[in-house]
């Protein structure tokens, strides 16, 4: 019976309509009701995503749960949805993160709580839609529409420099995506279809491919973000409320890398091969240079933001090292490992970065400071919290047994098949990652109680314990037993590699 329902549409529209519903309870005295509805909607959405996983057929690369309705016939634009092994886990991650964000903002958000919840719910639907869209204009519409709630979230509930941060965020991401729009229109003119799958199959000359690749690169690189267009992220993260940071880090950044596997690699395989040196260089700069930048941060959120950039560098490295692997070994096995490692890293980073920002949020709610210098010895007053934070920090540093290890290890291993020095530079992240994360943990959690404010701290309450606990389970589960996630991806990744190796010239 479940199979007959338009599940993807339900998963997209339930939170959007629920979010609009919450807006009707925006009076201050209705806040508890608004929160309850928001929680119910987000949980319902998450429950609706579970059949996507249980009903998913691991053996095929074909799109599943497909929905196809003509939307704008004049331009041959269709409401075309479907998921494969790459997008399905991201949808679950999105719905899961939204539930946590709703809970995390429960009593913390006092100013316009209904609007806050509504913004996150609407964004939930839009983000899931991005991962489901198989029509490029539908994808673009959702991709851009998502900016509006995020713009408001940072601007209304953010910190002191929120206006600067949110306008910068909006302009940067908008700047990136309009070039993608021109590329999409160009391909529509050539092929007569806005369908992503049609675009993947259309022949394209080398010059065209390179221009289209660069247009996509601007769009996705801003979102990932890759050096040198990453500067919006630290600002946005620092000023965003905790929930905003979590969604930004856990989901929004993944959209950029998702774009690379959904658009760049299959649509412009020859250009990807030709320009892989560029992508590898940018990725390594993110991994190495940004790690150094993270090391010197005084603000916890900024530090985690930079660490996100470094970790996302691994994802792009995994996607674009495949050409070098192929050249070196001639086998596709290493390629699959690199891409799967990168995909696992995306999911894992979703959990870990979300958890890290929630940890900072827990402290910020008590102390109203993000400065590392204002803390010290927090473990003495908040032992349970400290245990969680140490776990997440270890995962962020890539400790075996946590999810952070799996993806990074696979990418490094695959990179060795391509080039020793690339792998070597990438592997330095295990050292630098540990350095900046653990040094921060040391300064914040351990040592003597630094001041009276820290001495007065209360440990996590039940709500916070639940949120962090769920994430801890996820981080450990994925770290100890990543096989179910990898199984989902195999068929799709193999197909992607076929597409990449098939020249379009």
Name the site residues for another protein (rule: CB under 8 A). 26, 71-75, 115, 137, 140-142, 144-145, 147-148, 151-152, 155-156, 162-163, 166-167, 170-171, 174-175, 178-179, 181-182, 185-186, 188-189
Q: Which residues contact 383 (CB under 8 A, 6 or more apart)?
A: 459
Q: What CA–CA distance (Å, rounded) separates 257 from 263?
A: 10
Structural element, H or E, at residue 69: strand 64-72
**Which CB sits closer to another protein, 214 or 475?**
214
Minimum CB separation of residue 152 from another protein in Å reads: 6
Q: What CA–CA distance (Å, rounded) separates 319 from 342?
A: 7
What's the token pair of residue 193?
């279809």
**Which CB sits closer to another protein, 74 or 505?**
74
What's the token pair of residue 70?
């003509």
Minimum CB separation of residue 20 from another protein in Å reads: 11
Minimum CB separation of residue 38 from another protein in Å reads: 17
Q: What CA–CA distance (Å, rounded) separates 148 from 146?
A: 5
Q: Could you give the residue ranges of the DSSP H alpha helices within 224-267?
A: 232-239, 242-247, 253-259, 265-267
Minimum CB separation of residue 72 from another protein in Å reads: 4
**Which CB sits closer to another protein, 161 or 463?**
161
**Which CB sits closer to another protein, 97 or 166?**
166
CA nearest neighbour of 224 among 85, 323, 320, 98: 320
228 upstream amide cis, omega within 30 of 0: yes
Q: Distance of CA 144 to CAs 219, 221, 235, 346, 403, Å?
A: 11, 15, 20, 21, 30
**Which CB sits closer to another protein, 219 or 379?**
219
Minimum CB separation of residue 257 from another protein in Å reads: 22
Q: What CA–CA distance (Å, rounded) separates 283 from 394?
A: 22
**Which CB sits closer to another protein, 214 or 284?**
214
Minimum CB separation of residue 148 from another protein in Å reads: 6
**Which CB sits closer to another protein, 3 or 74?**
74
Minimum CB separation of residue 26 from another protein in Å reads: 7
């Amino acid at each position: 019976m479940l199979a007959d329902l338009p599940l993807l549409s339900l998963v997209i529209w339930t939170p959007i309509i629920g979010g609009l519903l919450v807006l009707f309870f925006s009076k201050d005295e209705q806040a508890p009701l608004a929160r309850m509805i928001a929680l119910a909607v987000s949980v319902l959405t998450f429950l609706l995503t579970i059949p996507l996983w249980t009903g998913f057929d691991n053996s095929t690369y074909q799109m599943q749960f497909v929905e196809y309705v003509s939307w704008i016939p004049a331009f041959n634009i269709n409401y075309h949805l479907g998921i494969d092994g790459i997008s399905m886990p991201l949808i679950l991650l999105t719905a899961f993160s939204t539930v946590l964000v709703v809970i995390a903002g429960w009593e913390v958000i006092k100013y316009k709580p209904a609007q806050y919840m509504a913004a996150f719910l609407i964004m939930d639907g839009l983000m899931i839609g991005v991962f489901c869209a198989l029509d490029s204009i539908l994808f673009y519409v959702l991709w851009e529409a998502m900016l509006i709630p995020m713009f408001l979230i940072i601007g209304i509930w953010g910190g002191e420099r929120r206006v600067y941060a949110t306008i910068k965020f909006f302009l940067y991401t908008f700047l990136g995506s309009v070039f993608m729009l021109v590329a999409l229109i160009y391909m529509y003119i050539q092929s007569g279809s806005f369908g992503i799958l049609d675009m993947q199959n259309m022949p394209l000359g080398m010059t065209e491919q390179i221009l289209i690749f660069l247009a996509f690169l601007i769009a996705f690189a801003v979102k990932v973000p890759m050096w040198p267009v990453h500067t919006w992220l630290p600002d946005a993260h620092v000023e965003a409320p905790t929930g905003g940071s979590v969604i930004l880090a856990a989901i929004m950044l993944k959209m950029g890398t998702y774009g690379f596997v959904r658009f760049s690699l299959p649509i412009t395989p020859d250009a990807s091969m030709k320009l892989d040196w560029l992508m590898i260089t940018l990725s390594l700069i993110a991994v190495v240079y940004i790690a150094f930048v993270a090391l010197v941060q005084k603000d916890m959120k900024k530090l985690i933001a930079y660490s996100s950039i470094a970790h996302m560098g691994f994802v792009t490295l995994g996607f674009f090292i495949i050409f070098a692997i192929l050249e070196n070994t001639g086998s596709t096995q290493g390629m699959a490992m690199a891409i799967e490692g990168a995909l696992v890293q995306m999911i894992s980073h979703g959990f870990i970065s979300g958890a890290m920002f929630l940890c900072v949020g827990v402290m910020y709610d008590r102390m109203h400071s993000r400065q590392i210098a204002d803390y010290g010895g927090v473990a003495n007053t908040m032992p349970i919290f400290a245990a969680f934070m140490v776990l997440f920090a270890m995962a962020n540093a890539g400790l075996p047994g946590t999810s952070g290890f799996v993806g990074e290890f696979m990418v490094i291993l695959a990179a060795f098949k391509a080039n020793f020095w690339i792998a070597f530079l990438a592997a330095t992240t295990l050292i630098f990652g540990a350095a900046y994360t653990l040094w921060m943990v040391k300064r914040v959690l351990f040592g003597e109680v630094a001041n009276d404010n820290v001495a007065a701290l209360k440990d996590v309450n039940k709500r916070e314990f639940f949120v962090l606990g769920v994430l801890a389970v996820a981080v450990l589960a994925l770290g100890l037993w990543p096989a179910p996630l990898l199984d989902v991806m195999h068929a799709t990744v193999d197909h992607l590699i076929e597409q990449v190796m098939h020249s379009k010239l």
